[in-house]
């Protein structure tokens, strides 16, 4: 099973709202990632967790707050977003010491 | 600086017309090169990993090859369902698990 699930599939939120994106995998992977992807662009790395600890934060604004409650779950908490944050948010996972990343289907976020 | 460049940006093929996509890279030490397929509005789907020059991998109509400076994704007798964006990504020895993505090639196969 190489499935990564993400909820919700679509999210529309106002600039004053607080919402969360969720990601789950049951492949025993101990590295998990959040990416942001704008139309016709490649995914941009936001955060990396290894063994449930934040190992990379690519200078992401504090209105995005990641959380890794356990080895299977990854959350992205959103607060006071801007319209330019509208994008496809992708979660991925991999083994820490092997290399293939498996991506979820993404959450399409629209900020109004 | 590590870089990944894909060409062409877009490719239109007739069904059955074979072609190749290119991914060239400059990294200080290659850990792995990865090919993904992405359909509009969906997450990238893993296709292949290549680790060393001379390596080849095949899956159905797709074949990926690797040299010291570039990788090719060969598509043999494509079908309309092969239409998608093909992304390559590179991992370098000194940057752990981090991927450097190319900008992708948008492939359209016309019936």
pLDDT tens for residues B2-27? 689 999 999 999 999 999 999 999 88
Separation of alpha carbons A45 and B95, rounded Å: 13
The pLDDT of residue B89: 94
Which residue of A43, A55, A99 is in closest CB contact with B49?
Answer: A99
Per-residue pLDDT tens over the stretch B60-88: 999 999 999 999 999 999 999 999 999 99
Which residue of B42, B87, B97 is in closest CB contact with A48?
Answer: B97
Per-residue pLDDT tens over the stretch A46-76: 999 999 999 888 889 999 999 999 999 999 9
Residue B1 has pLDDT above 90, yes or no: no
Nearest to B48 by CA among B61, B37, B35: B35
Note whether A94 contacts B97, CB cutoff 8 Å. yes
What sign does the dihedral A63-A75-A107-A33 (CA atoms) show?
A: positive
Task: Quote the percentage of chain B above a pLDDT of 70.
Answer: 96
User: Nearest residue of B to residue A97 by CA position?
Assistant: B97
B10-14 and B105-110 strand pairing: parallel
Asked whether A111 and A21 are in contact (CB, 8 A), the reply is no
Interface test with chain A among B36, B86, B87, B97, by most A beta carbons within 10 Å: B97
């Amino acid at each position: 099973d190489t499935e990564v699930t993400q909820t919700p599939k679509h999210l529309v939120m106002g600039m004053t709202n607080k919402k969360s994106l969720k990601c789950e995998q049951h492949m025993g992977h101990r590295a998990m990632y959040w990416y942001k992807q704008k139309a016709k662009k490649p995914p941009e790395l936001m955060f990396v967790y290894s063994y449930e600890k934040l190992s990379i934060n690519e200078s992401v604004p504090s209105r995005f707050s990641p959380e890794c409650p356990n080895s299977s779950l990854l959350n992205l908490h959103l607060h006071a977003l801007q319209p330019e944050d509208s994008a496809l948010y992708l979660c991925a996972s991999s083994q820490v010491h092997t290399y293939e990343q498996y991506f979820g289907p993404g959450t399409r976020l629209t900020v109004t | 600086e590590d870089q990944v460049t894909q060409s062409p940006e877009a490719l239109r093929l007739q069904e059955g017309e074979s072609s190749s996509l290119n991914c060239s890279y400059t990294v200080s030490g290659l850990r792995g090169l990865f090919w993904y397929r992405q359909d509009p509005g969906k997450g990238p789907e893993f296709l292949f990993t290549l680790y060393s020059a001379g390596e080849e991998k095949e899956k159905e109509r797709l074949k990926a090859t690797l040299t010291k400076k570039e990788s090719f994704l060969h598509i043999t007798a494509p079908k309309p369902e092969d239409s998608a964006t093909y992304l390559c990504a590179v991992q370098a020895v000194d940057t752990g698990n981090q991927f450097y993505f190319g900008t992708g090639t948008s492939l359209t196969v016309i019936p």
